[in-house]
Structure 1
Amino acid sequence: MSNQFLWVIFPYVCMAVFVVGHIFRYRNDKFGWTAKSSEFIEKKQLMIGSILFHVGIIPVIAGHIAGLGIPKEWTQALGISDHLYHVGAVYGGGFFGVVTLVGMFILTSRRFTKKNVRQLSSQSDLIVNSLLLFIVFMGVYSSLVTNNLNPGFDYRSSISIWFRSLLIFQPEAAYMTAAPLAFKIHILTGFLIFAMWPFTRLVHVWSVPLNYVGRSYILYRRSPRK
């Protein structure tokens, strides 16, 4: 029963909350889809942390999509051996994971230690930053430590198959039974952050000002005097 809850019910509940929560918030708080900027309070750590985080997180996300979504038989058919894939995933993914972790650590430390930044932060901001830092840490630990401590474990023969079974609504919780604890914690906290997403400032990710792309200036119009 615990297997069914952790690897079937919980992931589906989190994703349902993610979707329904975004719809609810957009309908009730569409003008709140932004993050209160703290750039004018402290800029140096924000810039360094943001650059490192974004440089690292894009390859990390791409690696997750490839590792979880592409069956190992497909990469083998392309002539990529399991050993070569493993080296690239562990050390390439580990490198960008460390970059992401350093960036997230700087951003989280800044939010907690800079008095003015902390005063601007809500309780949910502090929780989200801490949880993201923990998720990234567990991902790096799983990649660089757990993989080396469990050389016989292949996440593409277990976790990846389980994940794809969720996507086609034919969940196979048994594939997660033998997964190392670090991977399990990383996955569960990852789903948890998705459930929290609609109710935090993370929604500002979707608020890309596309209308201003390509514009070199913004015109401010003064209201006419009465």
Structure 2
Amino acid sequence: MNMIDQFAWVIFPYLCVAVFIVGHIFRYRYDQFNWTAKSSEFIEKKQLMLGSLLFHIGIIPVIMGHVAGLGIPKEWMNAIGVNEHLYHLGAMYGGGLFGVITFAGMLILTSRRITKRTIRKLSSTSDLIVNALLLFIVFMGVYSTFVTNNVQPDFDYRDTISIWFRNLFLFKPEAALMVDVPLSFKIHIITGFLIFAFWPFTRLVHVWSVPLNYARRSYILYRKNRGQSARH
């Protein structure tokens, strides 16, 4: 194991997580007025609605699949009756299907941002980087699922990537676990951490802006000024 592996699988992940946390704190304290999704719906609506719908339908199951695959040990899955074959079917077909849906949505959104001249002019550099990076991350995930897993059927990421990932959060990183991981998985992971480092400085921060206060906010009442209307 060389210094590149040590940096890629120990230093770089922790660095990205640190930037993610510190960047959000800084942005929230000093740049709340720019904490926005910068919607371009008023310029073009059809592609935005279709792309956003597909992306959100796909990304939620994809995230849940990543949490299950990376966060839950294989032994725990076996204990509740999810054996190797059953898990593989779910990851390959269920995860693959929602991955394709996510990719289709991201492809539409990215194409819209690049090909629509007005939207492209209103887009910042960070907007274009985020769109391209998310598209690439999702593509590498789909590629790993359908291509790499078929080319290297004996590879099980739950025996390598999952253990490495959990050990990161236990502050016991083992870079050696990642040395023999297929390249497509490595690229998917590196770019995944990279998007976390970019997150606080882009429009992605709007993910945390869930308007929960609207549920308990009082209604705003509008009344017509009848006296003023009568004078006119």
2:31 partner SS: helix
Q: In 2, Cα distance between the equivalents of 1:84 and 1:174? A: 28
Match of 2:113 among 105, 111, 124: 111
Q: CA deviation at 1:79?
A: 1.8
What 5-or-longer segments of structure 1 have no aligned partner? Answer: 222-226
1:54 maps to what in 2?
56
Q: Kindly name which structure, 1 or 2, has the bigger radius of gyration based on alpha carbons.
A: 2
1:87 partner SS: helix
Is the contact made by 1:49 and 1:107 (CA closer than 8 Å) also made in structure 2?
Answer: yes
Q: In 1, Cα distance between the equivalents of 2:210 and 2:222? A: 20
Is the contact made by 1:101 and 1:137 (CA closer than 8 Å) also made in structure 2?
Answer: yes
TM-score of the pair, normalised by structure 2: 0.92
What do residues 95-128 of structure 1 show as CA deviations (whole Å, max 9, x unaligned)?
Answer: 0000000000000000000111111110110011
* Aligned Cα root-mean-square deviation (Å): 1.6
The one-letter code sitting in structure 1 at the alignment partner of 2:163 is: I
Match of 2:178 among 176, 179, 183: 176
2:19 maps to what in 1?
17
Equivalent runs, 1:1-226 vs 2, <5 Å: 1-213=3-215
The one-letter code sitting in structure 2 at the alignment partner of 1:24 is: F
Q: CA deviation at 1:216?
A: 10
Q: In 2, Cα distance between the equivalents of 1:48 and 1:19? A: 32
Is the contact made by 1:91 and 1:144 (CA closer than 8 Å) also made in structure 2?
Answer: no
1:112–1:214: structure 2 CA closer, same or farther, 3 Å change rule? Answer: farther
1:119–1:83: structure 2 CA closer, same or farther, 3 Å change rule? Answer: same
1:34 partner SS: coil
What do residues 71-90 of structure 1 show as CA deviations (whole Å, max 9, x unaligned)?
Answer: 00011111221011111111
Q: CA deviation at 1:217?
A: 6.9
Task: Give the % identical residues.
Answer: 76
How many aligned positions are there?
A: 221
Q: CA deviation at 1:214?
A: 7.2
1:59 partner SS: helix
Q: CA deviation at 1:206?
A: 0.9
1:42 partner SS: coil
What do residues 23-70 of structure 1 show as CA deviations (whole Å, max 9, x unaligned)?
Answer: 111111012111211001000000000000000000000000000000
